[in-house]
Chain A
Amino acid sequence: MSTKHSKNAARFLKDKEQVAWHDQTLWMVRAKRDRLGKEIPEWEKLRDAASAIKMYSNSHLDTLLTTFEKNAVANGAKVYWAKDADEYCKIIYGILQQHHVKHFVKSKSMLSEECELDPYLESKGIEVVETDLGERILQLMKIKPSHIVMPAIHIKREKVGKLFEKEMGTEPGNSDPTYLTHAARKNLRQRFIHADAAMTGANFAVAETGEVVVCTNEGNADMGTSQPKLQIAAFGMEKIVPDRRSLGVFTRLLARSGTGQPITTYTSHYRKPREGGELHIIIVDNGRSKILANEEHRKTLNCIRCGACMNTCPVYRRSGGYSYTYFIPGPIGINLGMLKAPLHYYDNVSACSLCYSCSNVCPAKVDLAEQIYLWRQDLNKLGVANPIKKLMSGGMEYLMNRPKLFNSTLKMAPLGMGILKSVGFQWGKGRDYPSFPKESFNELWKKGKVK
Chain B
Amino acid sequence: MSSREEILQNVRRAIHVQYEMPDLTELESISQKFPDKVQKFCDVMKAAGGNTVILKEGEDVNEVIRRLYPDLKRVASNLKEITCATFNPDEVQTPAELDGTDLAIVKGVVGVAETAAVWLTQDMKERALYFISERLIILLDKEKLVDNMHDGYKHIDTGDYGFGLFMSGPSKTADIEQALVFGAHGPREVTVILY
Which A residues contact B (CB, under 8 angstroms)?
A: 25, 28-29, 40-42, 45-46, 48-49, 52-53, 55-56, 59-62, 65-66, 75-76, 81-83, 87, 131-134, 137, 150-153, 155-157, 160, 177-178, 180-182, 184-185, 188-189, 192-193, 209, 211, 217-220, 222-223, 226-227, 237, 242, 244-249, 251-252, 259, 261-275, 283, 285, 289-290, 292-293, 295, 298
Contact = CB atoms under 8 A, between A and B. Distances in A.
Contacts of B10: 285, 289-290, 293
A150 B173 CA distance: 10
Contact of B163 (A178, A181, A249, A272): A272
Given A222-B165, A275-B161, A181 B3 contact: no
Taking residues whose C-beta sits less than 8 angstroms from the other chain, chain B's interface range is: 35 or more
Given A150-B175, A157-B177, A177-B179, A263 B115 contact: yes
Nearest to B47: A262
Interface in B111-159: 114-117, 125-128, 130-132, 148-154, 156, 158
A285 to B, nearest CB: 5
A379 B55 CA distance: 65
Contact of B172 (A25, A242, A265): A265
A41 B165 contact: no
Given A81-B2, A152-B176, 14 more contacts: A25-B177, A45-B27, A75-B162, A83-B3, A153-B178, A219-B131, A223-B128, A237-B11, A259-B174, A262-B115, A266-B165, A266-B171, A269-B156, A274-B161
Nearest to B7: A285
B183 A289 contact: no
Contact of A42 (B32, B132, B175, B181): B32
B130 A222 contact: yes
B56 interface: no
A10 to B, nearest CB: 24
Contacts of A265: 48, 167-172, 186
Contacts of A48: 22
B16 interface: yes
Nearest to B171: A219
A220 B185 contact: yes
Contacts of A178: 179, 181
B100 to A, nearest CB: 10
B163 A193 contact: no
A299 to B, nearest CB: 11
A292 B11 contact: yes
Interface in B7-58: 7-8, 10-22, 24, 27-28, 30-32, 44, 47-48
B131 A223 contact: yes
A262 B168 contact: yes
A62 B127 contact: no
Contacts of A131: 185
A59 B15 contact: yes
